[in-house]
Structure 1
Amino acid sequence: MKARYKVIVDEFASAIRAGTLLPGTRLPTHRALSAAKHVSLATASRVYAELEVMGLVSGETGRGTFVREISLPAGLGLDQHAVASDVLDLNFNYPSLPDQAERLREAMRQLATSGDLASLLRYQPHAGRQSDRETIATWLHGTGLTPSADDVLIVNGAQQGLSVAVMGLLKPGDVVAVDALIYPGFKALASLYHLELVAIPADASGPDLTALRQICQRRHLRAVYTMPTLHNPLGWVLNDAQRRELALIARTFDLLIIEDAAYAFLVRRPPPPLATYAPERTVYVTGFAKSIATGLRVGAVVCPADMRIALERAIRATTWNTPSLMVSIVCGWIKDGTIRRFESLKRRDARQRQALARQILANSKWISHVNSYFMWLQLPQEVRADKLVRQLMQQNISVSTAEPFNTSHSMPHAIRLALGSVTMNQLSEALITIKETIEYQQDL
């Protein structure tokens, strides 16, 4: 015989899937459901929690629980689905510059005439060739880090760097503290490796570190995942005091720190990486996908010496080594200054796109960094996020709901806009359409 709460869950699920309960319908409060179904308040809360896990409803702080638009494409905002050529993609960022393809052509010509071309066809050391690691270590000195070549492991992009850190240093069941909103790729890793994520509440300038300390006192945490320099999706840049406090908490409670610096290059003169505050326990992960091109899957992990063997073992078990052809191109561009030039141009590009978004959406509430390729757009109370995303998709504009980024029990009432994957004219067109669609929903 089914438990009472399961019967109620099935009733709601059937009504939602049959269309009897339409998307956007506000469900009874927990207390009202408890009274109507003659169950305890805890059971009513359990019903809504299970429906939310099933993807059928979303609970929003201060607003209630609503039926979700379940006809949205599966995984919208997380799985990179095929986007038709006429769709304006504001869901994923893959910024590029006009002359990048020509620079790649030149780099391949130079590589073809190099003396050690045959060596690129052989297996490489798992962490990368020593000369390449020296080049990347020197490049990292510009970020505030001072690693030696031995501290650097070359990986297939920042996402594999995160995978290697999780696979090599954590175990299934480990508890990891994360921001209430985080990069979806880490959420996917946590699910794959059966990690438990605990959300750190946020304030206007970053994670609530007092709350993190309290979480550490209640729970046995193994690690904290953080993006202190240009947080995705909120654009935070933690200041010196915040970084010192986070490092102190990590030392006090013996936490591993996984520092994700994928977008850090967009910030001019940021504070030093968190890895400089707690170098003995921090794994620093970066990549060249955003600063160069997403197709060049090259990244780097900087780690303490006592973690190196475990991380190299994870590289060996997954990809053996990063393709040396791509690494050679990236290292050549480091040496001739191409990457620094690309970074400077993309900072300017991101700043222009951000300014355009702020101008068009001037009357909206948003959170972002002035140099960021993304914007967190908070929606008016009358506008349903999933319905808005659906309507925009019908107008050939792809954006993400808050769901892929959310790690807390309360779903933020917002969408995330990626600004870096279309032309400026297309971006302007898409943002105006988004603004008008929100206003139309408000009028209704």
Structure 2
Amino acid sequence: MTNWRPDPTLLRRPAYLSLADQIARAIQEGALINGTQLPPQRRMADELKLSVQTVSRAYEELGRRGLIAGEIGRGSFVRMPRREMRPPYLPDRLGEVIDLSILKPVCEPMHVEKLKEALGWLSQNLPARSALSFRPNVVFPVHAAAAVEWLRICGVDTSVQNVTVTNGATGAMTVALMSVAPPGSTVACEAITHHTLAPLAAYHGFTLAGLAVDEEGLVPEALEDACRQGGIRAVFIQPTVVNPVAALMGKTRREAIVEIARRYDIAIVESDVLGPLVTHRPRPFAALAPERTLYITSFTKVTVPGLRIGYLVAPDRYVAAVSNRHLVSNWMATPMVAEIATKWVNDGTALELVRWQRAALAKRHAIAAQMLAGIPYTSHPQALHLWMELKEARTEEGFVAQARLLGVAIAPGSAFCVSREAWAPSVRISIGSTTEAELRIGLGAVAKLLHGEQEVVLPAI
């Protein structure tokens, strides 16, 4: 049994979440170590002058977070086994939840109709090679040629020999990192980065070095220091507003990072999944340092989520490695989806949808500015999300849980964090994942929570 006890003066409504947050902080800070037995619920209730029901709900919440486990006849114990990472978004949209947790483009019935038309066209024009061949070099030359044209719009000049067509950006990211970071090596990245990067590193046996970021993203001096210490094989960067903090890296910053990468001979893996959506952006790393940059872009965030096709551009020295690792991890992209992407690139539909998305996002950002007036957050006019630091000693778990009780799902910032140095509790809020009306309601609920104007109605404690 532990001597540590929650502080009753710090309890706030809803009391069960406030109590759960105190205990969670004690676990994270080491005041409650693994295996510690928590006081029985009735004793905890008496000590804190709470109802047993409130303490029971707090223990249930801690169990849901994977921090404690109950044993029949023995009580509740701190249990922190290694767990698979949970995604920051809702895996399912259950009940009446306004889902602002998942990063999606704005979509309307028009997008479904466009895809239906493309599938109708495909039913009459499916090439035999896409239906019958097992050989990627037989299926994809036409698609790679279209990819070269799309990549040119993204600011990258390349050839078909350097392009691999993938099933979206996640597959491309996996192949790129497998190609440049063997097991036991270290990959530098922004301290706040893609939520799949940490589990990917764990599965493939390389280490992440999460480096300092500012309003432009990765700080060059931090990369220089990491490279000087040795062991860095590559740097993974999201330089163009799809990163969690919605930062747009400027031209001078990009050039400084390229100079460091060349001096220490490290690879650059550049994730640019918004592609041409972002106007007035600097040239991609793949244009500044084509000899060492593996460049990733895709269509799911700028056209329609169902078009799961991406392009991975590799320098000559990595082409064979990329080809082999793509074969063992995916064999090849789905040919029939690639046919639709190629058609849309060639007939202008893809660029038309990008322009539509840009205009739709402008409306969403205007709604956000109105509903969150006076509340600090960071974003960009073509970002699909907002990033908001939580003030006044709020905890992420508590704030996200309170929002859920109000029917709004948002993503905890810690899901994107690979380094706790100078970390501030934050949340990511998607603005494209639902309707304009639901976005207004969801952002209104977030604003009221931040202003302390809305409390969850619970039974008396």
Task: Answer yes or no: is the 8 Å Cα contact 2:185–2:206 preserved in 1.
Answer: yes
Query: How big is the shift at 1:183?
Result: 1.2
Report what 1:215 is aligned to.
226
Tell me which amino acid in the other structure corresponds to 2:264: F
Q: How many residues were matched structurally?
A: 404
CA distance in 1, matches of 2:3, 2:248: 42
Query: How big is the shift at 1:119?
Result: 4.0
SS in structure 1 at match of 2:290: coil
Query: How big is the shift at 1:420?
Result: 0.9
CA distance in 2, matches of 1:365, 1:122: 54
Report what 1:391 is aligned to.
402
Deviations 1:397-431 (A, max 9, x none): 11111111111124422111011110000000000
TM-aligned CA distance change 1:21 to 1:159, over 3 Å:
same
Alignment of 1:21-420 (within 5 A): 22-25=19-22, 47=30, 70=62, 77-78=87-88, 80-95=90-105, 96-114=107-125, 116-117=127-128, 119-125=130-136, 129-410=140-421, 411-420=423-432
CA distance in 1, matches of 2:143, 2:256: 34
SS in structure 1 at match of 2:196: helix
SS in structure 1 at match of 2:179: helix
Task: Answer yes or no: is the 8 Å Cα contact 1:77–1:401 preserved in 2.
Answer: no
Report what 1:428 is aligned to.
440
TM-aligned CA distance change 1:118 to 1:242, over 3 Å:
closer
Tell me which amino acid in the other structure corresponds to 1:185: T
TM-aligned CA distance change 1:366 to 1:99, over 3 Å:
same
The 10-residue stretch of structure 1 (69-78 or 344-353) with the greater mean CA deviation from structure 2:
69-78
> Which structure 1 residue ranges, 5 or more long, are not aligned?
1-9, 30-43, 52-66
CA distance in 1, matches of 2:96, 2:438: 11
Query: How big is the shift at 1:21?
Result: 9.8
Percent identity of equivalent pairs: 25
Task: Answer yes or no: is the 8 Å Cα contact 1:179–1:207 preserved in 2.
Answer: yes
Task: Answer yes or no: is the 8 Å Cα contact 1:383–1:438 preserved in 2.
Answer: no
CA distance in 1, matches of 2:297, 2:203: 21
Query: How big is the shift at 1:14?
Result: 11
Task: Answer yes or no: is the 8 Å Cα contact 2:389–2:427 preserved in 1.
Answer: yes
Tell me which amino acid in the other structure corresponds to 2:170: Q
Tell me which amino acid in the other structure corresponds to 1:259: E
Report what 2:449 is aligned to.
437
Query: How big is the shift at 1:178?
Result: 0.8
CA distance in 1, matches of 2:377, 2:138: 41
> Which structure 2 residue ranges, 5 or more long, are not aligned?
7-15, 35-58, 67-84, 457-461
CA distance in 1, matches of 2:138, 2:173: 15
- Scaled by the length of structure 1, the TM-score of the pair is 0.83
Query: How big is the shift at 1:191?
Result: 2.1
Tell me which amino acid in the other structure corresponds to 1:147: T
SS in structure 2 at match of 1:176: strand
Query: How big is the shift at 1:28?
Result: 10
Deviations 1:169-202 (A, max 9, x none): 3212211111111010222211221221112112
Report what 1:58 is aligned to.
none
CA distance in 2, matches of 1:48, 1:266: 47
SS in structure 1 at match of 2:20: coil
Task: Answer yes or no: is the 8 Å Cα contact 2:191–2:418 preserved in 1.
Answer: yes
Task: Answer yes or no: is the 8 Å Cα contact 2:193–2:416 preserved in 1.
Answer: yes
